[in-house]
Structure 1
Amino acid sequence: LAKTCVKNSGAGIAAPQVGKNKRVIVVHVDPKNPRYPNKKPFPLTIVVNPKVVKKSKITKEDWEGDLSVGIRALVPRSKTCIVTGLDRLGKPVTYRLDYGFHARVFQHEIDHLNGIFFIDRVKRKETLSELKEWKRYWKNKKMLRSRLK
Structure 2
Amino acid sequence: MSVEATRRNAVKVLFVDDEFIEFRSLKKKIADLSEPRVDVEYSQSIDDALDKIKAARFDLVLLDNRLLPNADFRETVPELRGIGYTGPIGVVSTDISGNYFQEFPDYGVDFRIGKDEIDVQTLQHIIREYVTYDVPDFWKDDYSI
Question: What TM-score, normalized by structure 1, do the two folds share?
Answer: 0.28
The structure richer in strand per residue is 1
Q: Which has the higher helix share?
A: 2
Question: Structure 2 length as normaliser, TM-score?
Answer: 0.29
Q: Which has the higher contact order (CA 8 A, sep 6+)?
A: 2
